[in-house]
Amino acid sequence: MASYKHFSFFIYAFAFATVESTAFSSLSTNYYDYSCPNALSTIRSVVEAAVQREQRMGASLLRLHFHDCFVNGCDGSILLDPSPTIDSEKNAFANVQSLRGFEVVDEIKQAVDQACGKPVVSCADILAVAARDSVVALGGPTWKVKLGRRDSTTASRVAANANIPAPFFSLSELITNFKKHGLDEKDLVVLSGGHTIGYARCINFKAHIYNDSNIDPNFAQYLKYICPINGGDQNLAPLDSTAATFDVSYYSNLVNKIGLLHSDQELFNGGGSTDALVERYSYNSKAFYQDFAKSMIKMGNIKPLTGSKGQIRFNCRKVN
């Protein structure tokens, strides 16, 4: 009897350990190799088609992944629409009337579920892969995306307002914000390089061009035609001089004091702790590409839901 009890305890302990291991399993680059071997190629084809239709969509998909990971980890919460139980992050200050690409995510989700035969790939993983494929489609580096995230069943507009870095942040505020998410100063400079593609609204750079001194006066004057002191808040300007190409122009612009956002120019502001790295990336695209890939993997691993946590949403816009 004692032997039987000992054996039963061993089986129970093993089963419990297995559940625990599954619930807290780490991400893996080959997560869908068996459950849906066509998942990644399907995501890539939809992203490439979307970027061909509109180059700006590449930046939009990258930004969606950024803003998702910076709220409560990379859990797809950014995609949830408002509902009686969801205070949507889409209505946060940094996102409302700004974030785009949700329809492309819907298109990817439909295509992937069809390729897999059922909902297997999470919306959070779709965002992570789509961000990578968008960068590649615009001439940037590639990297192996770690997969296995599950989707959140909640969202928080309040948390989005508190955690997504603002375009008016100082360097010290940016460093503090990134550190809160487990990212260091190098990650800050590298990931900010995502602004080498895409556009920003006038409301996000108006104070920089009218009030700041660390901006080239000719550049500021040019932007004032796009962004008048009164009105024009939704008018767009490119984040760097080659907004449809993933390159190092973003850093060259900062060195020349033609960064569009106040928070961008704070990375190179005369004697700051990040100046040297900005200058290095401005002429060394290989270093930037390598470091960007590493920091994207690091960011994508912020507090993912795995194992039995969360769910695989049937529709990325709502909880099952």
Residues marked as binding for heme b? 195
Angle at 293 between CA 287 and CA 298, to 5 degrees: 125
Q: Within a 10 A sphere around the Cβ of 77, how many other Cβ atoms? A: 27
The CB density around residue 5, as the number of other CB atoms within 10 Å, is 9
Write a three-state SS string for the chain: CHHHHHHHHHHHHHHHHHHHHHHCCCCECCCCCCCCCCHHHHHHHHHHHHHHHCCHHHHHHHHHHHHHHHHHCCCCHHHCCCECCEECHHHCCCCCCCCCCHHHHHHHHHHHHHHHCCCCCCHHHHHHHHHHHHHHHCCCCCCCCCECCEECCCCEHHHHHHHCCCCCCCHHHHHHHHHHCCCCHHHHHHHHHHHHCCEEEHHHHHHHHHHCCCCCHHHHHHHHHHCCCCCCCCCEEECCCCCCCCCCHHHHHHHCCCCCCHHHHCCCCCCCCCHHHHHHHHHCHHHHHHHHHHHHHHHHCCCCECCCCCECCCECCECC
Binding residues for Ca(2+): 68, 71, 73, 75, 77, 89, 196, 240, 247
The rounded distance, in Å, linking the Cα atoms of 284 and 253 is: 14
Residue type, 171: L
Annotated binding site for substrate: 165
Of 67, 181, 208, 262, which residue is the catalytic one? 67
On the CB side of 220, CA atoms within 13 Å amount to 16
Binding site feature residues: 68, 71, 73, 75, 77, 89, 165, 195-196, 240, 247
Tell me how far the alpha carbon of residue 130 is from its chain's centroid: 10
Active-site annotation holds for 67: yes
Please list the active-site residues.
67
